[in-house]
Amino acid sequence: MRVVDLGCGTGKLTRTLHDRLQARDTAGRDRSARMLDEARSGPLPHGLRFEIGTIESFDGTARSRLSNAAFHWVEIMRRWCGA
């Protein structure tokens, strides 16, 4: 299973999600390099990675997508929800 956390911030929820879902590939994505530095601190479990990028530039390829308190930053929300 591929999981993406859009707007992952410090990555705490992303790590929990990766562990609980036992995902093969989990990507945390955020536009803040400072947040990603914190997310990458400490050892990363196999299959977990953090990448810089915006929600808008995400190509949509993932079985599960999560965004906790980040979609309010996205102006093109209607496209993501299929509205």
Tell me: the pLDDT tens digits for 6-57? 889 999 999 999 999 999 999 999 999 999 999 999 999 999 999 999 877 7
Q: Which residue has the higher pLDDT, 38 or 72?
A: 38
* Residues 6/62, Cβ–Cβ less than 8 Å: no
Please give the pLDDT value at position 74: 61
pTM recorded for the entire structure: 0.76
* Rg of the chain on CA atoms, in Å: 12
